[in-house]
Structure 1
Amino acid sequence: MRAVKAVLVAAGNLKLQFPDDVEDTLILRSITDVNEPKFLSHDIPLFNVIISDLFPDIELPKAEYKVRIIVALLCCKDDNLEPTEYFFKKIIQSYEMMKVRHGFMLVGEPFSGKTKVLHILAETLTRMKENHGQEEKVIFRTLNPKAVTMGQLFGQFDMVSHEWTDGVVANTFREFASSHTTDCKWVVFDGPMDTLWIESMNTVLDDNKKLCLMSGKIIQMSSQMSMIFGTMDLSQASPTIVSRCGMIFMEPSELGWKPLVRSSMNTLPKILQSVEHRDLLMELFNWLLPPSLNMLRKNCMVCTAHFSHSSLN
C-alpha cells in the first residue's frame, strides 16, 4: 500500500504540474519515476517490457530538468567531479524520490557515488534558490550511526543523576523541527545499517513522522525534513523498514573507473596538464587498468587465501 501511495502522490504532483496531459501518460511516468530507481541495470530491460505490455502505444515524454542539469554541471565542475549521464540520472531520481517520500535509502557498494549524489543535489537546489528563485536552500547533517553508541545516538538515562540526556539524533531532530525557515533539512545516516538503531526509525519513517524516545518525549518532523540513509546493503534491514523507505540502488560498475581517473588527472601538476600528457596517461590507464581489475576480481581471493595459509604455516 505504501508503494501504491507513492505512485499516486507522484501522479498527483505531475497532474498539478501538467494539467492538460493525458492521465495515462502521467500514470506511466509516475510508475516509472517511483519504481525504476530500485532496479539494477539488468532488471531495467525486463521492467521496460512489462511497462510496454501494460501501456501499449504510449510514448513517455522526458522530464524537463534543463535548468537543474545546467546548475548541477557547474556544481560538478567546482567539486572536480566527472559529469556522467549515470551520475545525473541518480541525482534526478533522488530529487524525484524526495518529492514522494520523506525517507529513502541510497544503496550501493563503495565508489558508487552515493555521498556525492547527495552533495551535488544539495548544492544544486541551494544555487537554484540563490540564482533563480526556485527550489529551497538545503541544510543537512551527516552522521555515521555505527560510530557512536545507542545512548549517544538517541539518548540515555544517567544512572547516577537519573537525568535524561538527548543523543545526536534527538538534538538534530529538535533543531530542525523547531526551525521556522522554509529551507530543506536533511538528516543523513551515512554508514552501515544495524537492527539495533534502524528499528527505532519505524515511527519516523511512517506516515505520522514522529521520533519517539525512551524518555517519553516525541518529536514531530516538519514538512521540510527528510530522512536519508546511505548504506552498502540491506542485510540488516527488516521488511518493515524497507517498505517504509524509497529505494535508489547504485552500482559501481555503472559509474566505472574512468570518471575517477579523469577527476584525479585534474589535480596533477601544471606540467602534466597538456593535452599530450593527458592523452598519454589515459592510454596507459586503458592499457593497464582493465587487465589489472580482471586479475583482481578473478584471482586475488585465491592469492589472499594462499598467502594467509602459507603465512600460518
Structure 2
Amino acid sequence: MRAVKTVISAAGNLKRENPDMNELICLRAIRDVNVPKFLQDDLKLFNGIVSDLFPKIREEPIDYGTLEESIRNVCAIKCLKDVDGFITKCIQLYETTVVRHGLMLVGPSGSGKTKCYEVLGAAMTALKGQPSVSGGVYESVQTYVLNPKSITMGQLYGEFDQLTHEWTDGILSCLIRDGAVSMDQEKKWYMFDGPVDAVWIENMNTVLDDNKKLCLSSGEIIKLSDMTMMFEVQDLAVASPATVSRCGMVYLEPSILGLTPFTECWLRTIPDMFQPYTDQLNSLFTRFLQVIGPVVFFYF
C-alpha cells in the first residue's frame, strides 16, 4: 500500500504540473517511483511489463532544464566528471525526495552514493528561489551526516541516567528538535551513513511512517517538518521488511561510473611537476586497470 500511495502522490504532482496530460501521467509516475530501485538487468524486464500495460503510449524525454544544468555545474566545481548515468541518478534522487521523506541510497563502495546527495544538495541550493520541475520553488539544503553504528542507542536517541533519572537528549533528537522549531524554508537532510540493522533503525519506524513523528523514551513526541531521512548503505541484507517498505530506494551501481571518471578526475588534481606525465599515467591506467574482455594466457 505504501508503494501504491507513492505512485498516486507522484501522479498527483505530475497532474498539477501538467493538467492536460493524459494517462501518460500514470506511466511516468510508475517509472519515477520504480526505476531508481532497479538494477540494469531488471530494467529490461520492467520496460517489457510497462510496454504491455501501455502499448500505444510513447513517453517523451523529460527536460529537467535548470536542475540538470546546475548539477553539471556543481560537478565541474567539485572536480567530478558529469557522467550521464550519474546525472540520471542525481535526478532520480531528487524525484524520490519529492514523494518520500525517507529513502535509502543503496550500492557498494565506488558507486557514487556520497557524491550523489552532495551534488544534488549543492545544485538545489544554487537554484534557491527558482521554479522547480515538480512544482513550487527550489530551496537551499542543509545536510547533517552521522554514523549510527559509531555511538550507542542512548547517544543517538537519548536516555535516562541510571542514578539521577535525568533525561539526556541524544544527537538525533537534538538535530530533529532544532529542525522542527526552525522557521526558515531550508530543507534538512539527515544522512545516516552506516549499516542498517534492527538494533537501531526499528526505532525510526514512526519517523518513516506518514505521521512523521519521533517518539522518545522520555514520552516526548517530535513532529517532523520539511525533513528527509536518508540512509547510505551498502546492502539491505539484515534490514527488516518493515523498514524497507517505509523507504524509497535509489540503487547505484559501480558499472554506471566505471573506472575512467576516477582516473580522469585524479589526473586533474596531480601537482604541476607531474603534469607532463599525465598521458603516460593514463596509458598505464588503461593497460593495467581496465577490463578488456576475457584474458587468455598461453604457455609455451
- Given that 2:11 and 2:26 are in contact with CA atoms closer than 8 Å, whether structure 1 keeps it comes out as yes
* TM-score normalised according to structure 2 size: 0.93
Say which SS state the counterpart of residue 71 (structure 1) adopts: helix
Checking the alignment, whether the CA contact within 8 Å between 2:70 and 2:126 is kept in structure 1 is yes
Residue in 1 that maps onto 2:104: 105
The one-letter amino acid paired with 2:201 is I
Letter in 1 for 2:216: L
Within the alignment, does 1:143 sit opposite 2:146 as a pair?
yes
Q: Which amino acid aligns with 2:222?
A: I
Q: SS of the counterpart of 2:154?
A: helix
The answer to whether the 8 Å contact 2:259/2:290 transfers is no
What's the counterpart of residue 180 of structure 1? 183
Number of equivalenced pairs: 291
| Matching of residue 14 in structure 1 with residue 24 in structure 2 | no
What is the match of residue 34 of structure 2?
Answer: 35
1: distance between equivalents of 2:126 and 2:294?
Answer: 41
Shift of 1:269: 2.1
Q: Within 5 A, what are the aligned runs for 1:228-243? A: 228-243=230-245
SS state at 2:103 partner: strand
In structure 2, the partner of 1:118 is 117
Structure 2 stretches lacking a partner, 5+ long: 296-300
Q: Offset at 1:131?
A: 7.5
What is the Cα deviation at residue 132 of structure 1?
A: 7.7
Deviations 1:223-262 (A, max 9, x none): x111111001111211111111001111112221111111
Deviation string for 1:66-100 (max 9, x for gaps)? 21111111111111111101110110000000111
Q: What is residue 59 of structure 1 aligned with on the other side?
A: 58
- Give the 3 Å change call, closer, same or farther, for CA 14–288 of structure 1 in structure 2: same
Map of 1:73-88 to 2, 5 A cutoff? 73-88=72-87
Alignment match, 1:213: 216
Shift of residue 294 of structure 1?
8.4
SS of the equivalent of 1:228 reads strand
User: Is the contact between residue 190 and residue 230 of structure 2 (CA under 8 Å) also seen in structure 1?
Assistant: yes
CA drift of 1:284 comes to 1.8
Mapped partners of 2:131, 2:205: distance in 1 = 37
| CA contact 2:130–2:138 (8 Å) conserved in 1 | no
1:35 and 1:20 map into 2 onto residues whose CA distance is 24
Deviation for aligned residue 1:124: 0.3
Where does structure 1 differ by over 3 angstroms across 4 or more consecutive aligned residues?
Answer: 130-134, 271-274, 277-280, 291-295
The two structures have a TM-score, normalised by structure 1, of 0.89
C-alpha deviation, 1:291, in angstroms: 5.4
Mapped partners of 2:130, 2:278: distance in 1: 35
Q: Which residue of 2 aligns with 1:163?
A: 166
Displacement after TM superposition at 1:272 (Å): 4.0
Alignment RMSD, CA only?
Answer: 1.9
CA distance 1:16–1:130, change in 2 (3 Å): closer
Matched, 1:225 2:227: yes
In structure 1, distance between residues paired with 2:264 and 2:289: 14
- Using the alignment, how far apart are the partners of 1:113 and 1:150 within structure 2? 29
Deviation of residue 29 (structure 1)?
0.4
Give me the whole-angstrom Cα distance separating, in 1, the residues matched to 2:186 and 2:121: 11
